[in-house]
């Protein structure tokens, strides 16, 4: 297990950070980069032409390919690190037999739009991929800080504890501390909703609310997230009684995504709060803010759960129904505790 062949699917900022961690640890990795021109640039300049340009790679340890099937064949462990809106296109044309006996690690903090399902559910439905071979890589870890080798904490989740630890050990380094847990579904939903809450935090900042309000807002987000996760787990028939939602993969990730200037969701929300339209904010950011589509997906999921989710509902109504941010947050003020 200590000689796992690692494949990276995706070439954005988070995929680039993950590739840096894996290759810095001496692993030879296979890396799917969609555009061959970007591969040529990588090989010549030793860094990503579009993301984390200060992160340099020993390209002798990287087998680049613009053919996702080739990367799958070369890997024991596949790390999925594309935005959720690109999952279907990234795996289009992949025969289910190619994934047999592979381990898949999701580094995706989003729900597949239109289908309102997590990556593991999509893999089960379309590839008959077993949950026992599925893992997650999540945590409060902005790609920019990973690239500059600032200490970051990653949590790997999986049903098989031995395999989960073996995968986590491949990413452990002087600047990456790794932990494991078994809450595969819960950590994924936490990774989804914290982006929605970060959008709201950005909207609040754009509306010129101060730190005092933001601290109350985030405390309420943490509570709303816990209620949502517990109800999702109960619906799935899973015991969540032993889960500590105050740990880094839950509360820590929520905090950093709401507060950090590196957070694209917070930045996106800040633009909305300042009066940008959704489309104008998308064009200005030029990166995917997962919370935008996630808000619609979670509202669809909540049609069955029928939970009171005032914060997620507020963000959703601003983004998808054009409600005025100032009026919507004014209404939120009176229900926060």
DSSP string, 258-273: HH-TT-HHHHHHHHHH
pLDDT tier at 262, thresholds 50, 70, 90: confident
Lowest-pLDDT range of 54-58, 171-175, 239-243: 239-243
The DSSP bridge partners found for residue 117 are 112
Decide: residue 37, CB within 10 A, 0-12 exposed, 13-18 middle, 19+ buried: exposed
At residue 2, does pLDDT exceed 60? no
Query: Residue 212 is encoded by which pair of tokens?
Result: 């005092």
Q: What is the pTM of this model?
A: 0.92
At residue 101, does pLDDT exceed 70? yes
Return d(Cα 178, Cα 168) in angstroms, integer. 6
Neighbours of 275 (CB within 10 A): 12
Mean pLDDT (whole number) for 102-131: 94
Q: What is the pLDDT of residue 1?
A: 44
> Mind listing the pLDDT tens digit for each residue in 172-185?
999 999 999 999 99
Q: What is the pLDDT of residue 75?
A: 95
Cβ atoms 200, 331 nearer than 8 A: no
Q: In this prediction, what percent of the chain has a pLDDT beyond 90?
A: 82
At residue 54, does pLDDT exceed 70? yes
Looking at domain 185-333, its CATH architecture is Orthogonal Bundle (1.10)
Mean pLDDT (whole number) for 275-304: 90
Within 75-130, residue ranges assigned H as helices are 87-90, 119-127
pLDDT tier at 28, thresholds 50, 70, 90: confident
pLDDT tier at 288, thresholds 50, 70, 90: confident
> Mind listing the pLDDT tens digit for each residue in 188-241?
999 999 999 999 999 999 999 999 999 999 999 999 999 999 999 888 777 666
Fold of 6-182: Rossmann fold (3.40.50)
SS3 186: helix
Mean pLDDT over the full length of the chain: 93
Helix (H) or strand (E) holding 104: strand 103-106
Closest CA to 15 of 1, 36, 29: 29
Q: What is the pLDDT of residue 287?
A: 73
Mean pLDDT (whole number) for 76-103: 94
Query: Residue 68 is encoded by which pair of tokens?
Result: 């996702």
Compute φ and ψ for 246, nearest 5 degrees: -95, 5
pLDDT tier at 304, thresholds 50, 70, 90: very high
- Structural domain boundaries of the chain? 6-182, 185-333
């Amino acid at each position: 297990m200590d000689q796992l062949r690692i494949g990276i699917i995706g070439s954005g900022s988070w995929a680039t950070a993950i590739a840096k961690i894996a290759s810095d640890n001496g692993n030879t990795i296979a890396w799917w980069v969609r555009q061959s021109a970007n591969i040529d640039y990588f090989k010549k300049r030793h860094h990503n032409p579009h993301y984390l340009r200060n992160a340099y790679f020993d390209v002798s340890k990287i087998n680049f390919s613009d053919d996702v099937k080739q990367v799958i064949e070369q890997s024991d462990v596949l790390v999925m690190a594309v935005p959720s809106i690109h999952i279907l296109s990234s795996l289009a044309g992949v025969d289910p037999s190619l994934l047999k006996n592979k381990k898949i690690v999701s580094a995706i903090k989003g729900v597949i739009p239109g289908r309102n399902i997590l990556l593991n559910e999509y893999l089960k439905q379309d590839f008959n991929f077993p949950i026992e071979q599925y893992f997650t890589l999540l945590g409060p870890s902005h790609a920019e800080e990973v690239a500059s080798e600032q200490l970051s904490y990653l949590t790997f989740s999986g049903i098989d504890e031995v395999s989960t630890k073996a995968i986590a050990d491949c990413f452990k380094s002087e600047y990456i501390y790794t932990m494991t847990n078994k809450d595969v579904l819960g950590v994924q939903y936490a990774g989804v909703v914290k982006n929605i809450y970060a959008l709201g935090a950005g909207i609040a900042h754009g509306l010129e609310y101060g730190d005092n309000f933001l601290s109350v807002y985030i405390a309420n987000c943490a509570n709303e997230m816990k209620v949502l996760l517990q109800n999702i787990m109960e619906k799935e028939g899973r015991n969540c009684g032993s889960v500590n939602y105050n740990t880094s993969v839950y509360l820590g990730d929520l905090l950093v995504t709401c507060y950090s200037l590196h957070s694209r969701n917070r930045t996106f929300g800040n633009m909305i709060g300042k009066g940008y339209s959704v489309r104008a904010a998308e064009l200005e950011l030029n990166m995917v803010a997962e919370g935008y589509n996630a808000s619609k997906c979670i509202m669809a999921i909540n049609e069955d759960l029928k939970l009171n989710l005032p914060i997620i509902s507020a963000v959703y109504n601003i983004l998808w129904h054009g409600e005025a941010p100032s009026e919507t947050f004014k209404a939120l003020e009176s229900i926060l505790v």
